[in-house]
Amino acid sequence: MPSPSAKSVSGPTGLIGIIARKEILDHLLSLKFHVCVAAMAVLLGLSAFVMYRDYQSRMETYSSMRERAKLRAGESGLMAVVEPRRLSVFAKGLDENLDRGYTVRAYDGIQPHEWQTPVARIFSLFAPPDLLYIVKALLSLIALLFAYDAVSGEKESGTLKMVLSGSLSRGEFAAGKLLGGLAAVLLPFFALWVAMLIALATRPLLAFTAADFARLGLMFLATVLYISAFFSLGVLVSAWSRTSAAALVILLFFWAAIVFAVPSVGNLIAERVSPPPSAETQELLRRQAFVKNRFIAIQSQSRDRQGSFEAFNSDYDRLVEDYRVRLDATIATSKNLCRLSPAATLTYFFTDLAGTGLSEQRRLGLALMKFKSHNMWALTHQTVRDAPAYSAFEFPPMRLPEVFQRGALTDLVILAVTCAALFMGAVFTFLKVDPR
């Protein structure tokens, strides 16, 4: 009996490695790879420049408002000023909405400050070119462009028959292709990301801490999971399709649905299922509470200003709580629906880590209420400037365990499960491919 001439000397892992290395080399030698890496480099460079300038502008606004808050405290209530988050340069999220300054007055409650200098709102018109957007929209598209012909292309060119005529299992081949293709997408991206990080870390305004780097590491992990999910989807569709052209069209449809359509539709459905409270109604109710309490005070000819304020404050707190409960319900419904899209899940995860997400906005509302309660005496006696009871507004970023507790862990698990399911789906679909 002849010896097995083609015996695998390196075992299955070795064969996966051989396929993966071939895949990387094949990409490295292609024009597609060079064009995509150039696009990544340009966009990440632009992102670093634009987002830093934007952060700089927000910091200037913050500094000027903080100065005003100090100078004019007590003239018309208290002022709470919110510092922009450093990591917002990577995921701007709701940072623009977390208005820099709030005025807290006895009979007005908490309102965005009227002196507030409008920050350059150019990004309200266009999506901010932050890292989150680049990963979510561009890198996912690149992953699909690298994957759409992974199997169908080999089938069309005839190389699939050549490879599978060897003693290599389809599972090994699929795993090698997935790992090699992913490495070809992710390695240059992470090299460019590190370069961007170094460029930003050397800027005077951005002194990243160890905690920031830990959060960036988690963003890195989420990016790996997200892009792996897209790449696996690409290989799955490529294995299922008869031609590469058909695979590309199907994948572009999926990409548009996942990145843009599902989050938008999720929000629309959430608004119908659990309507959010209207800010106008809220303001109307606040005024009614104010008028009611003033009227009661006048009717009873009471000179008890403190009692009138406390009555209004109690009504106001109840209104805010009601508003928050209804808003939370809308947000929870929206989040649950939007999480069907890995792009939305990635957005929640990135923005929560950067301190610019929905959790942070909710936390800010609570912090402002606490600030108001804490300074109630000073507010009603208009002695804010001199009152020892007055305390400045502090709003430090959420600690990492709390970030995870408030939903980031769920998002990470969803991304990991989606990635694993699509990876397995791609491998199983490939097992049934007819290489002829």
Partner 1 sequence: MPEPMIQAIKLTKRYEDGLLALDHVSYDIFPGEVFCLLGANGAGKTTAINLFLDFIPPTEGEARINGINCHQNPLDAKRYVAYVSENVMLYGNFTARQNLDFFAKLGGKATLTKKDYYRVMGEVGLEEKAFEQRVKEFSKGMRQKLGIAIAMVKDAPAILLDEPTSGLDPKAGAEFLELLKRLKKQGKAILMSTHDIFRSKEIADRVGIMKEGKLVMQRTREELAHEDLQKLYLDYMEAGVTAPV
Would you tell me which residues interact with partner 1 (CB under 8 A)?
1-2, 4-10, 14-15, 18-19, 22, 25-26, 29-30, 157-159, 161-169, 434-436
Question: What is the nearest approach in angstroms of partner 1 to the Cβ of residue 17?
Answer: 9
- Closest CB to partner 1 among 145 and 227? 145
Question: What is the nearest approach in angstroms of partner 1 to the Cβ of residue 246?
Answer: 20
- Closest CB to partner 1 among 30 and 278? 30
Give the long-range contacts of residues 115-123, CB within 8 A, separation 24 or more: 115/65, 115/68, 116/61, 116/65, 117/61, 117/64, 117/65, 119/57, 119/58, 119/61, 120/54, 120/57, 121/96, 123/54, 123/92, 123/96
Question: What is the nearest approach in angstroms of partner 1 to the Cβ of residue 256?
Answer: 30
Question: What is the nearest approach in angstroms of partner 1 to the Cβ of residue 52?
Answer: 38
- Closest CB to partner 1 among 9 and 210? 9
DSSP secondary-structure letter at 258? Answer: I
Question: What is the nearest approach in angstroms of partner 1 to the Cβ of residue 125?
Answer: 42
- Closest CB to partner 1 among 238 and 345? 238
Q: Do residues 196 and 44 make contact, with C-beta atoms less than 8 angstroms apart? A: yes
Residues 331 and 368: their CA atoms lie apart, in Å, by: 20
Question: What is the nearest approach in angstroms of partner 1 to the Cβ of residue 151?
Answer: 14
- Closest CB to partner 1 among 12 and 365? 12
Residues 120 and 267: their CA atoms lie apart, in Å, by: 27
DSSP secondary-structure letter at 200? Answer: H
Q: DSSP secondary structure string, 149-180? A: TTTHHHHHHTHHHHHHTSS--HHHHHHHHHHH
Q: Do residues 405 and 421 make contact, with C-beta atoms less than 8 angstroms apart? A: no
- Closest CB to partner 1 among 59 and 163? 163
Q: Do residues 105 and 77 make contact, with C-beta atoms less than 8 angstroms apart? A: yes
